[in-house]
Structure 1
Amino acid sequence: MLKMVTSLKLQDLIEEIRGAKTQAQEREVIQKECAQIRASFRDGDPLQRHRQLAKLLYVHMLGYPAHFGQMECLKLIASPRFTDKRVGYLGAMLLLDERHDAHLLITNSIKNDLSQGIQAVQGLALCTLSAMGSAEMCRDLATEVEKLLLQPSPYVRKKAVLAAVHMIRKDPELSNIFLPPCAKLLRERHHGILLGTITLIMELCERSPAALRHFRKVVPQLVQILRTLVTTGYSTEHSISGVSDPFLQVQILRLLRILGRNHEESSETMNDLLAQVATNTDTSRNAGNAVLLETVLTIMDIHSAAGLRVLAVNILGRFLLNNDKNIRYVALTSLLRLVQSDHSAVQRHRSTVVECLQETDASLSRRALELSLALVNSSNVRAMMRELQAFLESCPPDLRADCASGILLAAERFAPSKRWHIDTILHVLTTAGTYVRDDAVANLTQLIGEAQELHAYSVRCLYHALAEDISQVSLPLPSFGSPAFPTLEFEWFSPQNSSQKLVEDKAHLLLRLLSWPGAYRLQLQIQLSSGECRPPRQSPGANEM
């Protein structure tokens, strides 16, 4: 008589897996149970199929292979029992996707279930279609989903709207099918249906110019819905921290931004409402801040009035003073997007942006650096460069290269004088060292060569910088390559112009430079031997070296 092995229940399997003390014990338990699940599938017991598949789905969630349960999902979906359909649809969402041809086999089952009058079954079918429906499945089932958009049951309509969103993303050519029902769905007061409808309209507008033109006619209706939310609210059930349905408000604002972009008439219709939302929203909670941020982004993306745009930038300026790092980061990111179109308005918050450079959070300081560099112009270049150079001296290593590169680019673009430009490049070279771009020295050499009146000044600055840090071996290259060096030789080493000790220090520095192991040693030796820049003569009375 064969010994029957009793299969574990799902709860017992979970407890046994959690009780495993090692990974090997866990694998042993799972392998043993998977073998029993396979045997049960081969036996074809319909009463045990959904229980075995439920255990297999748990094993799949732990990361173990469960592909042998795909066909069992199809059998359970085709079953008339709701308990079987529930587990079967769940298994299809987890185990099937477009990469598996088996997913096409459930199209007829989903179509039959959508045609039934049982709301729970229709909901399961719509959820599965939204989760793993391919473009081919969406084309086959679009008509059934369209019919469900006008069903009396809010539960089914809500899920049908979400399925329609998935269909549009998979196949934008289905847009014409879902355009007519949207007008009626916008009159709904059900939170889920209205939220899904707004999302559906957004997808339609982003993928179809015809749909965008069509839905610009409903801007007044959207404005009225949002005004009702702001003033009275649809229901307290969806209020968060005193803000009436912030999720719906955010979605409506995003849709208004799409509809008002590059369209003056639509923008004019929503201007007053945007001003009302911007001034009346409570900012003491994150829910209010989320609504306010979307309002700001909408204002900046449409044809809004100048005063409204200034109000939006000022709101972002207040965000920079918030204690929440996430809000400060969002403000910096938003201002960075706006700086090109509204440079003067963002400039008013320059001091606050510069203060954000000292943030301990690396993401905040990086975003503040990007915005600070974007704010540099010809009128504030001196003040901004002082702040950025101070930040360069203390910034983390992972920001030093970006900071140095940004300073050099800004100095090249907005330098008020050549002497200031040389000083700035030299400061970056001595501060950032190896973090500076390779072409910085070449640019400095070219700049010195073009400024004949600054040759002597440049050589002195480079000499003193090198004397402070011999490791900056690239610094003297511009001076040796400069036409000023041969003519300044006498001034460098002449006892009449320098003290005896200073002459010796200069000669010693040059000899140290020649003996320093570096990429420029050979070039310097070639210059010296060719007579382009002669080695320093030893002054009378100087010590032997």
Structure 2
Amino acid sequence: MKFPDLSMSNPVRLRDLIRQIRSAKTAAEERAVVQKECAYIRDAFRDEDNTWRCRNVAKLLYVSLLGYPAHFGQLECLKLIASTRFTDKRIGYLGAMLLLDERQDIHVLITNSLKNDLNHSNQYIAGLALCTLGSICSPEMSRDLGGEVEKLTKSSNPFIKKKAVLCAVRIIRKVPEQFDIFQNSVRSLLSEKNHGVLLAAITLISEMCEQNQQALQIFRKVLVPNLVRILKNLIMSGYSPEHDVSGISDPFLQVRLLRLMRILGRNDIEASEVMNDILAQVSTNTENSKNVGNAILYETVLTIMDIKSESGLRVLAVNILGRFLLNTDKNIRYVALNTLLHVVQADHSAVQRHRATVVDCLKDADVSIKRRAMELCFALINSNNIRTMINEMLTFLATCEQEFKADCTSNMFLAMDRFAPSKRWHVDQMIKVLTTAGNSVRDDIVSSLIGIISSSPDLHGYTAQQLFKMIRNDITQQPLVQVASWTLGEFGDLCVNGQYERAEDEENIQVTEEEIVNRLEKILNWSISTVVTREYAINALMKLSTRFPTCSDQIQSMMTVYACNMNLELQTRAVEYTSLFTKHTQIRSSIVERMPVLVNNQTSTTNNEEQTYEQEESSLASKPNFQTTSDVKQEPVADLLKILDEPSTTHTSHELYTHDNIFDVLSSPIEQPILSSNPIDDIFGNNLLNNQTTSSNGINSSIPQMTAIDKNGLRIIFQFERKDKNLFIHLQATNSAKIPITNFVFKAAVPKTFNLELLPPTGTTIPSNNSGDVRQTIKILNPNKEKLRMRIKLNYSFNDSTPISDEAELNAFPEQCYH
């Protein structure tokens, strides 16, 4: 390989250096070539070689693109920029864009050269300066040169004007306050005939509206009619070869206009009314046979669904998405499903018309389309179509990939929990789900189904009989076996005695005590059974030891065998159960009696559960003005669900009343006081004070207060005040830690049947050592007087350190809150 000769008077040309580097066979050879050339370039810079400076900087830029250090060429770029030759300026500005940025102090030295070149008579030099300013401008440089850029936006040269407007976009992005400088010139830009300048102007207005609330309010009043006129001219204009793309006039400008209209029309009725007609024209007149038209229709749909549009226009938008579902292009089908999933809450009935098409998408070979179709199907389920949709989803569950089964079963459980027409149908369908999904069912679904069975006394015997039929010949499906084991342990005697209502078309199958015990013994001894399944089985056998007296000796022998099991959990249970047989026979029947009805906690592991909640968020730092619930409801579903996109920590009544269980264990004959939400108060007799005295907030209420969170030193107490159907929850947050809590943000979500309004807090900083607090009021309207459930999410940090996020689900509100 030939290396550059450093003794040559003329440096190696750029093309020759590229050829030498590409011909290197190893990384070491390449490094050698680069190092020799960089050494030559350093010597040339040190000798102030003005003749070949441009060529050397060009080679250095290529070396920089390969990942080698080139910082020693930064000052040389500034010297080239100061040159009077265009070729030198071109390389100098290119080097500045590649080697400089706002984090380096040296970039400030370029400000004066930029100012001179912005006013240069040569349009190409001025264009270079604008491109460089847009690329490397800092907030200080933006303030210094913003006025010069604003002058160029009024230039008569379209080339300069377009680049100036695009540079202004970058300046606004860096310093939103610069909006005042460009405000007046922006309006005149909308009358431009040049589509390039017009497209840049629309981009600048969009950036201003997104970065500055004041700009949004001003432009919303004065620009909407102009935007409607421009879009109408584009639609009605004839063929223009300069702007035509697949028979559509300048689709890029149309898309930008639609996006800007979406920003201006959001949450504004007057602006939306002006846009309704033109959006209807775009929806009906745009050809959808090619992707260009589909892109415009897609933006139109997003705009219609995001502004305060008419109901008929929303139906039209949903119908466009329905046509997208029939398209052969998979990308278009995916976009349609994804968009329908976001707009289904805005217009549920319109999306329902396309339910059959959505269900057909479950059969698509593309897994992305299949997942979105599954999520949309669950969003479409209601009390009217629950039977049909569950049958469709069972068919899908039987054939879908393994990765879908867990989500599908969880969503089916939640849908049936909400809309099941009867308990018996609910239980039958869940047994089918367990049978079809196999071992892909999540653990929380098993416990939740057990809760449903427990709370349905009329179905105890029927459910036990149905589950025994399922595991009689197949015990490979662990979730099904776990539910069956628990049910047989609790209600196996009802199954044997035939104390249940049989279905009309069901054959009469007699089940004996020995069959149930033998089946549970097989589950317990089977090597493939998981430890959890064996725990269910051994508990079930112990339960049946008193209900099936004839099998008691067989069950006792099993417990004796498992008292030496290698698994510590099974061994412990077996030893304890054996002692009940030998030492505590007199109390065995009372210990293994039927469990009381289980509290069915809310499952929080699926994607669709969150759609039953509404959420409000308060943050003084980002939203100084209070936003009402009506505004929150119109937010896109994806944004609405950010608070609920993870499984939450559940605080149930069992956790809140833990201290009260001490009285049960000790069998105290003393009559229990009325339970408050804070068990410590009960122990010290403070509950009477809560009921009769004024709280720390000065609220006189007979409803006991409740501790929502007590973690990391942060303690949140709810105090209640009820007025007719309105419940006011007064939140008080204190901090017992030695470090103050900062950036405190409280979020709350309630079921859709409630109406939640979250008032601004008194602050975002909670002083340390309980020396102060933050207070906030939550207003809840409960027209149906349903039991209150709430999910809360907290974001905070200790003295501006690492952010902390906590979640909890509250189900144990005092009854006085809703009765």
TM over 0.5: yes
Structure 2 counterpart SS, 1:113: helix
CA contact (8 A) 1:359 1:365 kept: yes
Deviations 1:373-419 (A, max 9, x none): 11111111111111122212222233222222221221211111112
- Give the alignment of 1:120-519 within 5 angstroms: 120-216=124-220, 217-232=222-237, 235-482=240-487, 483-489=490-496, 506-516=516-526, 517-519=529-531
- Paired with 2:70 and 2:368, the residues of 1 have a C-alpha distance of 40
Q: CA deviation at 1:188?
A: 0.4
Structure 1 counterpart SS, 2:193: coil
Corresponding position: 1:57 with 2:66: no
- Paired with 2:136 and 2:152, the residues of 1 have a C-alpha distance of 19
Q: CA deviation at 1:116?
A: 2.1
Structure 2 counterpart SS, 1:47: coil
Q: CA deviation at 1:75?
A: 2.1
Change (3 A) 1:315 1:523: closer
CA contact (8 A) 2:325 2:336 kept: yes
Q: CA deviation at 1:282?
A: 1.2
CA contact (8 A) 1:189 1:234 kept: no
- Name the aligned partner's letter for residue 204 of structure 2: L
Q: CA deviation at 1:251?
A: 0.7
- Paired with 1:52 and 1:362, the residues of 2 have a C-alpha distance of 52
CA contact (8 A) 2:461 2:498 kept: no
Deviations 1:284-303 (A, max 9, x none): 11111111111122222223
- Paired with 1:186 and 1:234, the residues of 2 have a C-alpha distance of 22
- Name the aligned partner's letter for residue 531 of structure 2: A
Q: CA deviation at 1:100?
A: 2.3
Deviations 1:172-215 (A, max 9, x none): 11111111001111110101110000111111122223322322
Corresponding position: 1:110 with 2:114: yes
% identical equivalent positions: 56
CA contact (8 A) 1:389 1:428 kept: yes
Greater fraction helix: 1
- Name the aligned partner's letter for residue 462 of structure 1: L
CA RMSD of aligned residues (A): 2.6
Structure 2 counterpart SS, 1:46: coil
Q: CA deviation at 1:489?
A: 4.7
Greater fraction strand: 2
Q: CA deviation at 1:486?
A: 3.6
- Paired with 2:155 and 2:452, the residues of 1 have a C-alpha distance of 75
- Paired with 1:60 and 1:261, the residues of 2 have a C-alpha distance of 45
Structure 1 counterpart SS, 2:308: coil
| Bigger mean CA offset, 150-159 vs 356-365 | 356-365
Corresponding position: 1:4 with 2:7: yes
- Name the aligned partner's letter for residue 168 of structure 1: I
Q: CA deviation at 1:168?
A: 0.9
Structure 2 counterpart SS, 1:184: helix
Q: CA deviation at 1:114?
A: 1.1
- Name the aligned partner's letter for residue 514 of structure 1: L
Q: CA deviation at 1:234?
A: 8.5
Q: CA deviation at 1:349?
A: 0.4
Q: Report the TM-score when normalising by structure 1.
A: 0.91
CA contact (8 A) 1:507 1:536 kept: no
| Bigger mean CA offset, 60-69 vs 477-486 | 477-486
Q: CA deviation at 1:36?
A: 2.5
- Name the aligned partner's letter for residue 294 of structure 1: E
Change (3 A) 1:504 1:528: closer
Corresponding position: 1:44 with 2:48: yes
Change (3 A) 1:439 1:181: same
Q: Which runs of 5+ in 2 are unaligned?
A: 500-507, 553-557, 559-819
CA contact (8 A) 1:277 1:292 kept: yes
CA contact (8 A) 1:320 1:352 kept: yes
Q: Which residue in 1 is equivalent to 2:99?
A: 95
- Paired with 1:163 and 1:3, the residues of 2 have a C-alpha distance of 42
Deviations 1:142-161 (A, max 9, x none): 11111111011111110000
Structure 2 counterpart SS, 1:475: helix
Change (3 A) 1:478 1:170: same
- Paired with 2:161 and 2:61, the residues of 1 have a C-alpha distance of 29
Change (3 A) 1:87 1:398: farther
- Paired with 2:414 and 2:429, the residues of 1 have a C-alpha distance of 11
Structure 1 counterpart SS, 2:346: coil
- Paired with 1:182 and 1:218, the residues of 2 have a C-alpha distance of 10
- Paired with 2:123 and 2:284, the residues of 1 have a C-alpha distance of 43
- Name the aligned partner's letter for residue 263 of structure 2: I
Structure 2 counterpart SS, 1:188: coil
CA contact (8 A) 2:11 2:52 kept: no
Q: Count how many residue pairs are aligned between Structure 1 and Structure 2.
A: 534
CA contact (8 A) 1:357 1:365 kept: yes
| Bigger mean CA offset, 27-36 vs 124-133 | 27-36
CA contact (8 A) 1:463 1:476 kept: no
CA contact (8 A) 1:113 1:122 kept: yes
Q: Which residue in 2 is equivalent to 1:542?
A: none
Structure 1 counterpart SS, 2:365: coil
- Paired with 1:370 and 1:76, the residues of 2 have a C-alpha distance of 59
- Paired with 1:231 and 1:188, the residues of 2 have a C-alpha distance of 18
Structure 2 counterpart SS, 1:53: helix
Q: CA deviation at 1:366?
A: 1.5
- Paired with 2:71 and 2:469, the residues of 1 have a C-alpha distance of 72
Change (3 A) 1:174 1:519: same
| Bigger mean CA offset, 103-112 vs 327-336 | 103-112
- Name the aligned partner's letter for residue 309 of structure 1: R
- Paired with 1:193 and 1:234, the residues of 2 have a C-alpha distance of 20
Q: Which residue in 1 is equivalent to 2:541?
A: 528
Deviations 1:121-170 (A, max 9, x none): 11111111112212222112111111111011111110000011111111
Deviations 1:199-241 (A, max 9, x none): 1111112222332232232222211111111111584212100
Structure 2 counterpart SS, 1:458: helix
Change (3 A) 1:361 1:152: same
Deviations 1:70-118 (A, max 9, x none): 2222222222221111111111212222332222222222122112222
- Paired with 2:342 and 2:351, the residues of 1 have a C-alpha distance of 10
Q: Which residue in 1 is equivalent to 2:20?
A: 16
- Paired with 1:3 and 1:421, the residues of 2 have a C-alpha distance of 86
